[in-house]
């Protein structure tokens, strides 16, 4: 049983509620609830929190109940045979014994597991300065979107220099970006200009010109016609690693 399933079942039994009663409160079927309790059902984080709230566990906030916990709502020991069958279907040349011998860790890391979690987590590429993927990060998907954008259009950009350090983006930081092909006033954007790719803070001056701002050791700005810039995406988050 998963941590989430065990938590729901324990509280339900403590309150002397039947699966049918809890399912009705949550707006789900009884079979769905029982599958969650048994750890055999993948469940989105918002649905998990709805169930927890319905049985009175309002203290289980997002800070206390992480996406890692949601991803663990499936008992891998129970679903392993199904995942092995899916792997076998994709790779028919593998012998059955080899499929069964595949470890739980290998299955979780494989595309079958990521496909199963596609409605909850997205494997988003980290792109370098020449827009080649150098790694990937798992990002939560909410209502089919990431930061309001199509998950397939979202990517991380690896800051190549310190030209934006005055705006708290340093070389090596990873910036989450969403599509944007026109200037967004006050935002930091990834853009093409003079055959180079830059991160710059945008100030819209009028319908035809913008100010591109950057700040390394001192603040600098350049006024540029909008039609000379190729806007790629808008930056919405930045992450960094503690050294």
Question: Any residues with CB less than 8 A from the CB of 35 and at least 6 apart, and which?
Answer: 41
CATH number of domain containing 50: 1.10.260.40
Question: How confident is the model at residue 167, as a pLDDT?
Answer: 92
Query: Which phi and psi angles does 189 have, rounded to 5°?
Result: -130, 155
Q: How many CB atoms lie within 10 A of CB 155?
A: 22
- Bridge-based pairing of strands 209-215 and 174-179 is unpaired
Same domain membership, residue 233 and residue 131: yes
Range of the domain at 107: 80-116
CB 137 within 8 Å of CB 156 = yes
Which alpha helices (H) appear in the chain, and where do they start and end?
A: 3-14, 19-26, 30-38, 45-54, 67-71, 76-90, 96-101, 104-109, 111-116
Same domain membership, residue 160 and residue 138: yes
The model's pLDDT over 95-131, given as tens digits with 9 standing for 90+, comes to 444 444 444 344 334 444 445 555 577 889 999 999 9
Q: What DSSP string describes 175-188?
A: EEEEE-SS--TT-E
Which two tokens mark 130?
Answer: 């020449």
Last residue of a domain, one of 116, 142, 169: 116
User: Crossing angle for the helix pair 19-26 and 30-38, nearest 10 degrees?
Assistant: 110
The residue count of the chain comes to 243
Same domain membership, residue 87 and residue 58: no
Question: How confident is the model at residue 41, as a pLDDT?
Answer: 72
Rounded to whole angstroms, the Cα distance separating 47 from 70 reads 10
Same domain membership, residue 209 and residue 132: yes
Last residue of a domain, one of 116, 144, 179: 116
CATH number of domain containing 235: 2.10.109.10
Local mean pLDDT, 10-residue blocks, the chain (243 residues): 73 86 87 82 72 71 47 46 50 46 41 53 90 90 88 95 93 95 96 94 96 94 96 92 60
143: left (phi over 0), alpha (psi -120 to 50) or beta: left
Same domain membership, residue 193 and residue 177: yes
Same domain membership, residue 214 and residue 142: yes
Same domain membership, residue 152 and residue 191: yes
Rounded to whole angstroms, the Cα distance separating 47 from 211 reads 44
pTM, two decimal places? 0.55
Half-sphere exposure of 235 (CA within 13 A, CB side): 24
Same domain membership, residue 211 and residue 146: yes
Same domain membership, residue 199 and residue 159: yes
Element (H, E) at 124: strand 121-127
Which two tokens mark 45?
Answer: 């984080």
Same domain membership, residue 107 and residue 190: no
Same domain membership, residue 138 and residue 56: no
Question: How confident is the model at residue 62, as a pLDDT?
Answer: 43
Same domain membership, residue 63 and residue 106: no
Q: How many domains does the chain have?
A: 3
Question: How confident is the model at residue 39, as a pLDDT?
Answer: 74
What's the alpha-carbon Rg for the chain, to the nearest Å? 23
Q: What angle do CA 122, 126, 131 make, to 5 degrees?
A: 125
């Amino acid at each position: 049983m998963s941590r989430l399933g065990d938590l729901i079942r324990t509280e339900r039994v403590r309150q002397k509620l039947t699966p049918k009663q809890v399912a009705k409160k949550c707006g789900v079927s009884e079979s769905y609830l029982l599958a969650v309790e048994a750890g055999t059902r993948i469940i989105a984080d918002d649905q998990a929190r709805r169930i927890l709230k319905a049985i009175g566990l309002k203290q289980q906030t997002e800070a206390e109940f992480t996406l890692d916990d949601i991803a663990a709502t499936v008992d891998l020991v129970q679903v392993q045979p199904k995942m092995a069958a899916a792997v076998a279907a994709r790779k028919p040349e593998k012998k059955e014994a080899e499929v069964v011998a595949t470890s739980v860790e290998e299955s979780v890391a494989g595309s079958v597991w990521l496909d199963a979690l596609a409605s909850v987590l997205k494997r988003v590429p980290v792109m370098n300065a020449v827009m080649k993927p150098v790694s990937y990060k798992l990002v939560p998907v909410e209502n089919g979107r990431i930061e309001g954008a199509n998950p397939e259009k979202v990517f991380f950009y690896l800051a190549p220099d310190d030209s934006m350090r005055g705006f708290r983006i340093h070389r090596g930081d990873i910036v989450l970006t969403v599509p944007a092909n026109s200037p967004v006033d006050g935002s930091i954007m990834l853009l093409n200009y003079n055959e180079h790719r830059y991160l710059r803070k945008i100030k819209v001056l009028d319908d035809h010109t913008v100010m591109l701002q950057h700040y390394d050791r001192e603040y600098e700005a350049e006024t540029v016609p909008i039609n000379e810039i190729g806007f790629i995406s808008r930056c919405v988050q930045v992450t960094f690693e503690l050294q």
